[in-house]
Amino acid sequence: MDTEIRTASAPPQPVPQDGAGPFATYEARVASGKLDRDPEQEKAARRLDRLWRELRDYHPMVMQRQATARHGLFGGLRARLGLGGRGAQAAPSRPRGVYMVGQVGRGKTMLMDLFFDLAPVEHKRRVHFHRFMQDVHQRIHDMKVADPALSDPIPPLARQIAQEAWLLCFDEFQVNDIADAMILGRLFDFLFADGVVVVATSNTKPEDLFQDRPGADAFKPFIDIIMREVDTVILDSPRDYRRGCVRGMRTWIVPADAAAKAELDTIFTHLAAGAPVQAVDLDIMGRTLRVERAAGPVARFTFAELCGRFLGAGDYLALATRFASLVIDDVPRMGPDNFDEARRFIVLIDALYEQNVKLFASAGDQPDSLYERGQGATAFERTASRLEEMQSASYAQLPHLSA
Ligand SMILES: Nc1ncnc2c1ncn2[C@@H]1O[C@H](COP(=O)(O)OP(=O)(O)O)[C@@H](O)[C@H]1O
Ligand SMILES: [Mg+2]
């Protein structure tokens, strides 16, 4: 699942009102053997359960404003006087969101998805954080094109986002660059003012987001906002539930020598299934990303082409959406001097993984040993774990998400 928005304009979705909450549902899955018992997960499920109960009685500001606008002055007056109706409360206290932190494979995403499905909220959205930021940049771009005189797109943008969905569930919350950092603080300030509730998973505690980077100081107020609005829940279990997958076909070829190249040639030809090899231009917000070697549903790059130049999350998402399979030659072992390449590779693999893109690569070493030392080496552990999972038979069967 990548992006899911459920709004009033979408086909009506059942909004669970009663029945089992996240904790009872989690316990039932443990009892039936679908999940292993994990006290850390139970702790998180309890916290999500509390939020689930709080949400049943919560009507955010943004929905009240909409109701007021719909019902005109009289309705607005009734609401302000507290005369009945759903929009009656003046300033409802906003439930604190939940921010789940832990290493890879601890079940954060599983728990968030379980919560999201049960959340008694009509206007809810579950999205990978890269995708959300991409959407934010796109909308800012569109707003500026539509109204060149618009000096500050953030307030209307925040209102738009809040009106579409006021429960926002972000998978893999992170802050990639200073451009995102600058937008996020103000955007979230407005979102929270409209009553939005946030649930997130992350590998990084809020207080550590975007630290040790140029511009980190400017980002501090955002960290304060996040910490004011959400409770951090740490999932600290010793187990990585992703390890131990059954190996599928050979997808990660070490070393990256002539034999590996020949093997990738064969794979590329096989995946192309007769489609001609040609250059393809992808449009990314008015920019063009040229893919030199594309053939039907597969594209081929060297590592240097993909991660050795200024490509970002937007480019990688476009690739991951357009191509069902990617062949990458020559992924090197990296060290402290290759921070930029390693960072881009992390973002690339996130994008591929989220869209279930099948990856075939030749590399200097196994995923675990690719980037052991250097800035962001800890974040790379998730990438290594994902690369492992992307080699599993079950991953190979997942359908490519092309939208
Ligand atoms: N308690 C559990 N028992 C069995 N499988 C689990 C359990 N918790 C998580 N998993 C599975 O392990 C994998 C990794 O979980 P995930 O939620 O993606 O981890 P994270 O988001 O923390 O990296 C998923 O396939 C998930 O369904
Ligand atoms: Mg996850």
Going along the chain from its start, the domains and CATH numbers come out as 5-58+94-235 (3.40.50.300), 252-396 (no CATH)
Which ligand minimizes its atom distance to the CA of 382? 1
- Give the residue, by CA position, lying nearest to ligand 1 atom 17: 107
Q: Which has the higher per-residue pLDDT, 304 or 15?
A: 304
Residue in 165, 193, 179, 232 with CA at minimum distance from that of residue 3: 165
- Mean pLDDT, residues 249-265: 87
Over 50: is that where the pLDDT of 107 sits?
Answer: yes
Q: pLDDT for 125-140, tens place per residue?
A: 999 998 899 999 999 9
Q: Which atom of ligand 1 is closest in space to residue 38's alpha carbon? A: 1
The rounded distance, in Å, linking the Cα atoms of 168 and 198 is 5
Q: For residue 66, what pLDDT band results from cuts at 50, 70 and 90?
A: confident
What is the model's pLDDT at position 69? 66
Question: Which residue's CA is minimally distant from atom 5 of ligand 1?
Answer: 35
| Cβ-proximal residues to 172 (8 Å cutoff; 6+ apart), any chain | 109, 128, 129, 130, 201, 202, 203, 350
Query: At residue 348, what is the residue type?
Result: L
Mean pLDDT of the chain: 87
pTM of the predicted structure, to 2 decimals: 0.65
Backbone CA torsion sign across 100, 105, 106, 109: positive
Ligand 2 mean position to 101 CA, how many Å? 10
Q: How far is the CA of 300 from the centre of ligand 2 (A)?
A: 27
Cβ proximity of 275 and 296 under 8 Å: yes
Query: How much distance in Å is there from the Cα of 172 to the middle of ligand 1?
Result: 14
Output the CA 293–ligand 1 centroid distance in Å: 36
Question: By the 8 A CB rule, do 96 and 230 touch?
Answer: yes
Q: Using the atom order of ligand 1, give the atom closest to the CA of residue 103.
A: 22
Split at pLDDT 50, 70, 90, the class of 220 is confident
- For residues 209 and 164, the answer to whether their CB atoms sit within 8 Å is no
Specify burial of residue 12 (Cβ count, 10 A radius: 0-12, 13-18, 19+): exposed
pLDDT of amino acid 93: 82
Q: What 8-state DSSP symbol labels residue 334?
A: B
pLDDT above 70 (res 195): yes
248 pLDDT above the threshold of 80: no
pLDDT at 238: 78
Going by alpha carbons, the residue nearest to atom 12 of ligand 1 is 241
* Residue of 106, 109, 110, 387 to mutate, ligand 1, most atoms within 8 A of C-beta: 110
